[in-house]
Amino acid sequence: MLNVLALNSGSSSLKFGLYGVHSGLVEKLVWGEAEAIGAAGGRFHAEDSRGAVVASDDDLIADQRAAVVRVAQLLAALGLPSPAAIGHRIVHGGPKLPRHCRIDGSVLRKLDAAVPFAPLHMPPALAVIRFAVEHFPGIPQTACFDTTFHAGMPTVASTLALPHALRAQGIHRYGFHGLSCESIVHQLAGRLPGRLLIAHLGNGASVTAVRDGKSIDTSMGLTPSGGLIMGTRSGDLDPGVLIYLMREKGFDADRLEDIVDHRAGLLGISGVAGDMRRLHEVAAANADARLAIEMFCYSARKALAAMAAALGGVDAIVFTGGIGENDPDVRGAICAGLAWAGIHLDEARNQAVNGGLVSDPSSSCAVHVVASREDEQIARLTATLL
């Protein structure tokens, strides 16, 4: 049994889990999350393998270093074994790191160079890596990339319509949510359909076309800002919009980044929130909130149809991610717009479950809800790398 600590960094959060890995089987020992790091209203929560709460407090967690220390303190307090390895979720490997790998000085330098590709996600992830190396000296650590699952996409799908000199600098479509997709493919082992669409819908959202277990196309591109409408991210925009804002409104790169990543998406449309749960609460009385929900579903529906074309048909659709797993109304609205393709949900089953088959027997393809298990996948990959 190899005990692996999986660390999944967000821009202001740190999800973690200690897993025992043996012969490809993964056992969850404890998991949790430090939320709102560096801000008032922060929260630290953890549960054991039986789902019992073992930590819950609202103490301020000042930074990523404090979050790592809090995780280490929890493991010690519970008498759990020290991790033999630590695996990190890294959103973007950049052009020099296409595969999951062990972390050393060379890898850290390449990760530093990849920061411009995902400036929202990479700095906190690098901070967590450095603090973990400091707090757990001598323990091997791995980088597990969201981009790796898509690294083998066909050239026709990965190439951007830009001059060769720019493409040669690593400017191409990378794709993201790869660890989530890998976890779905692993869970479907033995019954994996040949043509699968994975709709990872959460604060970040993407649709991936998977043929025989491999990504052949995906909605996100060079960065995690592209593709579908998301919580606070715009998704795909006419590039002329950015040029207009620069030329006519005097926006610089920082202001454009703030708009595209932090003030657009569901938040920008509704003017209320980037959280789908909050939008549902106010939708009855707020037309902009209703529009935001409708546009999100419309965006996802178009992406699913486009990826179905890339696959040449669909055998199954999987909804995953926070919205995909827990919002039956959004699933229903998306699939209602795909009835022309013969896709139909069993309404009672869709409303009643947050996992399993939700399609009607008459549907042209199966529709499933499957939990994304990124941290479990990190543990599995780390054990394999070691």
Q: How many domains does the chain have?
A: 2
Domain assignment present for 314? yes
Full domain range(s) for residue 96: 2-154
Residue 40 lies in a domain: yes
User: Do both 222 and 362 map to the same domain?
Assistant: yes
Q: What is the pLDDT of residue 221?
A: 97
One digit per residue, the tens of pLDDT, for the chain of length 386 reads 899 999 999 878 899 999 999 988 999 999 999 998 988 778 999 999 999 999 999 888 999 999 999 999 999 999 998 899 999 999 999 999 999 999 999 999 999 999 999 988 899 999 999 999 999 999 999 999 999 999 999 999 999 999 999 999 999 999 999 999 999 999 999 999 999 999 999 999 999 999 999 999 999 999 999 999 999 999 999 999 999 999 999 999 999 999 999 999 999 999 999 999 999 999 999 999 999 999 999 999 999 999 999 999 999 999 999 999 999 999 999 999 999 999 999 999 999 977 899 999 999 999 999 999 999 999 999 999 99
Strands (E), 157-243: 195-201, 205-211, 214-218
Same domain, 246 and 305: yes
Q: Are residues 142 and 209 in the same domain?
A: no
Q: For residue 1, give the nearest of 383, 385, 309 by alpha carbon.
A: 383
- Do 198 and 137 fall into the same domain? no
Q: Can you give the pLDDT at residue 293?
A: 98
Long-range contacts of 350-359 (CB under 8 A, 24+ apart): 354/325, 354/326, 354/328, 355/325, 358/319, 358/328, 358/331
Looking at the structure, do residues 230 and 313 belong to the same domain, yes or no?
A: yes
Question: Do residues 183 and 210 touch, judged by C-beta distance below 8 A?
Answer: no
Q: Do 106 and 34 reside in the same domain of the chain?
A: yes
The answer to the question of residue 179 being in a domain is no
Please name every residue paired with 377 in a beta bridge, in sequence order, or none if there are none: none
| pLDDT at res. 296 | 98
Inside any domain, residue 265: yes
Q: Domain ends where: 154, 181, 203?
A: 154
Question: What tokens were used for 115?
Answer: 């920061």
Strands 85-90 and 141-145: parallel
Whole-structure pTM value: 0.95
Asked if residue 349 and residue 205 are part of one domain, the reply reads yes
* Of 57, 146, 252, 261, catalytic: 146
Whether 126 and 225 share a structural domain: no
Domain of 70: which CATH number?
Answer: 3.30.420.40
Judgement on whether residues 103 and 211 belong to the same structural domain of the protein: no
Is 146 marked active-site? yes
Q: Is residue 263 assigned to a domain? A: yes
- Residues 251 and 318 occupy one common structural domain: yes
Q: Are residues 38 and 18 in contact, defined by beta-carbon separation less than 8 angstroms? A: no
Residue 216 near residue 209, CB atoms below 8 Å: yes
Cα separation, 215 vs 213, whole angstroms: 7
User: Is residue 288 a contact partner of residue 271, using CB atoms and an 8 Å limit?
Assistant: yes
